[in-house]
Amino acid sequence: MLVLQSKKGTLEQPGSLLDKCLLNLVSDPTENARRDSALKLMIDDIVGSHFLQKVMELASPKLLQTLFERYFCGRLSVLSMHPISNFVVQSLLSNAKNERQLKTMIAEIQPTVGTLLFKQRPGVVRALLDSCIRLRAGSVEIMNALYSGLGISALDERKELINLLAFLMPYKEFVNADYDQLPFRIQGSLIIQLVLQLPGDGHEPIMNSFFAQAPDRMYSWCKDPSGSRIIEAIISSEHIPLATKRQVLDQYSNKYADLAINKYGSHIVDACWKVSDMPYKEKIMIELIQREMLVQDSPFGRIVMRNCRVEQYKRRADEWRERERSLQKGKRMFKDIFDSSSTPNKRSDKKSKKSKK
């Protein structure tokens, strides 16, 4: 019902279903002790919390601000650690309506980011990252919060950022740990993948940390179920320049055949293939052909060989090259069409803003 009313534009009218469920908060937002007590109980309730999660998603900026100031501000740290209310907090954070709201939320969460990361509540941090990506704001603030939570105090310590997130460990513990015995954490991998989507140069802290690691160490990640997801996200990211990706691809030179026969490494080869130009694809192709027997003997390797059309290359290399040129031309045309269609929208947005003024 709330979703239908939202589509009709009647969600926040006085007397609406939402207004009644929130005990007239919409029609009369003044302080009310009875209502405030009931809504605070609802945040911790197993049923009421699900209702509030949907409210956060549908609320207008004004209503969300009222809910935040009245029931969450000053309590985010405590609510984030609660087994039920932490999901309401995640919904609140992931549905921040504007940059001001987002930065206010980050500022309040920042002192407890370390606790959230290491006490099984990283979903709260992920919710903030989701809003940073959606609103294209708050990148600096969320990264400073992550540095603080991970115990990174000096610039030189930031080179271990990718490790600290991948293993979800504070800096002091990491430097004294046996690296080979550290398990990847799925939540840490997901956080890295979100950081790579931050607007502008938001991905640079992760990439700087990546290139600060020994290449063999990063290569070993390609054969791990969680580590490979991180590498694949780096290669596939739309926000990372092609020149930077090429540096990543060069680290796997002469290793593509070994990656192809691995369950997780084969996905890395596919990702590298998709972002490569034709000369680099031929380089990968030659590596696969040189060790064809090894690659063909693996079910994962055979899939890679099929995706790269190795047999066609061996029989008719010129036809293979022509096909690749056509595919690359099609991708460029599609990108040009997409870019040209999005540009007028941006211009019209600017014009509408001027007209409002």
Contact by Cβ (8 Å): 229, 163? no
Q: Which DSSP helix (H) or strand (E) runs through 71?
A: none
Query: What does each C-alpha distance from 133 to 4, 197, 296 come to in angstroms?
Result: 27, 6, 41
Alpha carbon distance 164, 212 (integer Å): 13
> 120 in the Ramachandran plot: left (φ > 0), alpha (ψ -120 to 50) or beta?
left
Other CB atoms within 10 A of residue 58 CB: 17
**In the numeric block, which tokens belong to residue 290?**
């040189």
Tell me which residue has tokens 């534009």: 9
Helical pair 48-58 and 85-94, crossing angle rounded to 10 deg: 0
Contact by Cβ (8 Å): 186, 123? no
What amino acid is encoded at 28 in this protein?
D
H-type alpha helices, 9-47:
17-21, 33-43
What amino acid is encoded at 174 in this protein?
F
Tell me the chain's radius of gyration from C-alpha atoms. Answer: 25
Contact by Cβ (8 Å): 191, 143? no
Q: Strand ranges (DSSP E) for the chain?
A: none
Q: Which DSSP helix (H) or strand (E) runs through 299?
A: helix 299-308
Contact by Cβ (8 Å): 113, 121? no
The rounded Cα 93 to chain-centroid distance in angstroms is 15
Other CB atoms within 10 A of residue 41 CB: 10
What amino acid is encoded at 120 in this protein?
Q
Query: What does each C-alpha distance from 25 to 29, 96, 287 come to in angstroms?
Result: 5, 19, 66
pLDDT tens for the chain, 357 residues long, are 777 767 777 777 888 888 788 888 888 888 889 999 999 999 999 999 999 999 999 999 999 999 999 999 999 999 999 999 999 999 999 999 999 999 999 999 999 999 999 988 999 999 999 999 999 999 999 999 999 999 999 999 999 999 999 999 999 999 999 999 999 999 999 999 999 999 888 999 999 999 999 999 999 999 999 999 999 999 999 889 999 999 999 999 999 999 999 999 999 999 999 999 989 999 999 999 999 999 999 999 999 999 999 999 999 989 998 988 887 776 666 555 555 554 445 444 444 444 444
The rounded Cα 73 to chain-centroid distance in angstroms is 25
**pLDDT at residue number 353:** 47
Q: How many CA atoms lie within 13 A of 325 on its CB side?
A: 6
**pLDDT at residue number 330:** 66
